[in-house]
C-alpha cells in the first residue's frame, strides 16, 4: 500500500479508499518502508507475474508447522533464545498451520508486521542507534 496525502485525509494509492490509520511518531519512517515493499512487489510482478501457489504443498507440511510451533513459542519465552528469527518464524508457522484462508491472512499480516519491525531494527543498526 502506498499512501497518498499527509497524516490527514490519507488514501490508498491503488483504490483511493480512505485509510483509517492513526498518525504516530513512526508513521513517516514506516511509510518509507511500505514504499520500498510496494516497489519490490511491483518488481516481483514484473519479473514473475502473479503467483498462485498452495500455502503448503502437502498435508504433512501443515502437520510439521503445527508440531514445531510450540517449540518456537517456547524459544520466544526463554531468555537468550528469543531472536527476530524465532519471532518471525513463530508468526509464519502460525499462518501455515492454519487451514482457513481468513485466519491464514490474519496471521500473515502479523508476520508482515514483524518483518517491518525487523527492517526498523536494521535501520537503527545502520544508523548506529543505541536503542536496539
Torsion angle in degrees (nearest 10) through CA of 111, 113, 119, 125: -100
What interhelical angle do 84-97 and 101-127 show, nearest 10? Answer: 170
pLDDT of residue 29: 86
Closest CA to 37 of 114, 95, 115, 109: 115
By the 8 A CB rule, do 13 and 2 touch? Answer: yes
Residue-level pLDDT at 35: 95
The model's pTM: 0.75
Residue 97 lies in domain: 55-132
Do residues 76 and 48 both lie within one domain? no
80 and 47, same structural domain? Answer: no
Residues 126 and 111 in one domain: yes
Average pLDDT by consecutive 10-residue portion of the chain (132 residues)? Answer: 51 74 78 94 94 86 92 95 96 94 95 96 86 51
Amino acid at each position: 500500500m502506498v499512501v497518498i496525502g499527509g497524516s490527514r485525509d490519507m488514501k490508498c494509492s491503488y483504490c483511493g479508499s480512505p485509510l483509517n490509520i492513526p498518525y504516530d511518531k513512526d508513521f513517516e519512517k514506516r511509510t518509507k518502508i511500505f514504499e520500498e515493499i510496494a516497489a519490490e512487489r511491483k518488481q516481483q510482478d514484473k519479473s514473475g507475474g502473479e503467483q498462485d501457489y498452495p500455502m503448503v504443498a502437502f498435508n504433512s507440511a501443515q502437520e510439521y508447522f503445527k508440531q514445531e510451533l510450540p517449540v518456537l513459542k517456547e524459544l520466544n519465552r526463554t531468555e537468550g533464545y528469543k531472536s527476530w528469527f524465532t519471532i518471525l518464524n513463530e508468526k509464519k508457522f502460525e499462518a501455515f498451520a492454519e487451514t482457513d484462508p481468513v485466519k491464514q491472512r490474519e496471521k500473515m499480516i502479523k508476520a508482515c508486521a514483524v518483518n517491518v519491525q525487523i527492517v526498523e531494527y536494521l535501520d537503527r543498526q545502520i544508523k548506529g542507534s543505541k536503542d536496539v
